[in-house]
Chains A and B, each alone.
Chain A
Amino acid sequence: MLISTLMFGLVLGGTYALVALGLSMQYGISRIMNLAHGEFMIAAAFCAYVLFDFAGLSPLVTLLIAPLIGFGLSWLIYTVMMHPLVKRAANRGQLEADSILATFGLLFILQGIMLVVFGSDFTSYSYLNIPIDIFGVTIAVSRVVAFGLSLFLGLVLYVLITRSRWGATLRAVALSPASAPLVGIQVDKVARQAFAIGGALAASGGVLVSMFVTFSATGGVVFTMKALIVVIMGGVGNLLGALIAGLALGVIETFVTSYFDPGLSLASTYLLFIIVLLWRPQGLFGSVRS
């Protein structure tokens, strides 16, 4: 029971981590708090569902397509909607407030479209729903695959950001946007890239989560909130922190669900959030920004 709870929790946490990394890119680098982040995720989940149920396409193929669409769409949204706000904002606080208002609207637009197309029912599909035995725990292959891919994508991103020159330019924009142009970095271009990558990560998370969880058109908000909690728990701008915090959140939620009551899982998430916010506002692992 203990081990199975842990394993189910890690699987869930892996996708949380991935979606949170996306939010972290958008918030930490592009300085946009994207309240519609979860809607991107749900849209990708629906995308995987439609392609699987109606075209027989494996979600693993969708995992190659949906992030590209997520990237392109986010690129477009940044260019059309966010860039004017960025140019207008006199300071960081103003951009945060403006972007929260703007993406709050975006949330309802995307949610409305999905409600019209898919209705408000919970949706799921059955892919690789084959039980296997790992450490004496029976778990569906789809979950193992989803976990492996979340972790893989998260670690690839982490390595790119921390080890490559391209990653260093992203961190430079996150840490000192005023100094970045001194070394020839185009802040604007980097911010757009980071926002688009955030959209791609949300889409990846959506496809992966759809492989083992039921979802609905209105479910995005909860994912956005969880991603936000993970980002703050991990420390703003701390990608490894977000990865670990995402896994931890999945495990805690699963424990509360199986040992106490499923109805308490969201409440426990927020309790955790409040404790972190009061006790360690810089996150469990510290913020990169000091």
Chain B
Amino acid sequence: MMLDIRNLSIRYGAHLALDNATLNTRKGETLAILGANGAGKSSLLKAIAGIVPAAPGSSVKLDGEELLGLQPHEIVERGVIAVPEGRGVFGAMSVEENLLLGANPKRARQGELTRKSEVYDLFPRLAERRAQLVQTMSGGEQQMVAMGRALMSRPDLLLLDEPSLGLAPIVIGQMFKTLKRIKDAGLSILMVEQNVSASLKLADRGYLVEAGRIVGTGTASELKSNDAVQRAFLGGPAAPALS
């Protein structure tokens, strides 16, 4: 077992954004977190990355070691890297500089050059645009920069928050193909997605989050045919909890 999350709760003042979530991922596994707007998906990723604090009693263990309470940069050094909602790229810098900064963590220095050529291999478009300022790039290209930058940190676990947000269907298709290659290279991926069909095609397993609670889990194919998932994303009545 790689990432083991137990009773994770997140509070913003009086608002309970995540309520006792328990989930886990195995090494090399791709996990999809599904849920409606405001369900608490981004909060979950932010807590793992150390960007928002978790409530007392929560636990997030990576290979048996507690991550909660560590600073974001310490979590990056443990091999967990986040690509947040809105991507968080350095817009006023070039593609090349974004990748240079991606390799800023100490763990990333080993084999940095090889990794950079792998990233450029994965995203040929970026190789053509090394010197371009990221803020002048299209949304899809910026998403490539964000993922390339994350890969530069030599991560074991990639946290992706809605990577397909705002992208054209054809670009989304390409992006998931690239994610498949990243997955096949052995990386673990924890992905929040609204694009249910594409993400369940990539994922091994998934969790369904509703109003801060995990209401269901299963393998990707189980979830695909599940009524609760269908209803949640068609905007139907609140789904009953899965077994």
Spell out A's residues near B (CB within 8 Å). 165, 168-169, 171-172, 175-176, 178-179, 181-186, 288-290
Interface residues of B in 86-117 (CB under 8 A from A): 88-93, 97, 100-105
Interchain CB contact (< 8 A) of B93 among A168, A182, A184, A185 = A168
Q: Is B213 an interface residue (CB 8 A)?
A: no
When the two chains form their complex, are residues A165 and B92 in contact, meaning their CB atoms are under 8 A apart?
no
Least CB distance from B45 to A in Å reads: 12
When the two chains form their complex, are residues A290 and B135 in contact, meaning their CB atoms are under 8 A apart?
yes
Given contacts A165-B100, A169-B101, contact A183 B76 (CB under 8 A): yes
Least CB distance from B199 to A in Å reads: 22
Given contacts A176-B88, A178-B88, A290-B135, contact A183 B104 (CB under 8 A): yes
Interchain CB contact (< 8 A) of B84 among A175, A182, A185, A289 = A182
CA distance A13 to B81 in the complex (A): 45
When the two chains form their complex, are residues B101 and A168 in contact, meaning their CB atoms are under 8 A apart?
yes
CA distance A289 to B149 in the complex (A): 21
Who on chain B is nearest to A288 by CB?
A: B92
CA distance A169 to B106 in the complex (A): 13
Given contacts A171-B93, A175-B93, contact A182 B88 (CB under 8 A): yes
What is the interface size of chain B, counting residues whose CB is below 8 A from a CB of the partner? 26
Given contacts A165-B101, A183-B149, contact A172 B90 (CB under 8 A): yes
Nearest 9 CB-CB pairs, A to B? A184-B76, A184-B105, A179-B88, A181-B72, A184-B73, A183-B101, A183-B104, A175-B92, A182-B88
Who on chain B is nearest to A171 by CB?
A: B93
Note all chain B residues with C-beta closer than 8 A to A165: 100-101, 103-104
CA distance A186 to B106 in the complex (A): 13
Least CB distance from B25 to A in Å reads: 20
Q: Is B71 an interface residue (CB 8 A)?
A: yes
When the two chains form their complex, are residues A186 and B71 in contact, meaning their CB atoms are under 8 A apart?
yes
When the two chains form their complex, are residues B153 and A184 in contact, meaning their CB atoms are under 8 A apart?
yes
When the two chains form their complex, are residues B90 and A176 in contact, meaning their CB atoms are under 8 A apart?
yes
CA distance A176 to B145 in the complex (A): 15
Residue among B92, B93, B102 facing the most chain A CB atoms (10 A cut-off): B92
When the two chains form their complex, are residues A184 and B77 in contact, meaning their CB atoms are under 8 A apart?
yes
Who on chain A is nearest to B108 by CB?
A: A184
Least CB distance from B95 to A in Å reads: 13
Known pairs A183-B153, A184-B104, A290-B135; list 14 more (Cβ under 8 Å): A165-B101, A165-B103, A172-B93, A172-B101, A176-B90, A179-B89, A181-B51, A182-B49, A182-B81, A183-B102, A184-B72, A185-B73, A288-B92, A290-B91
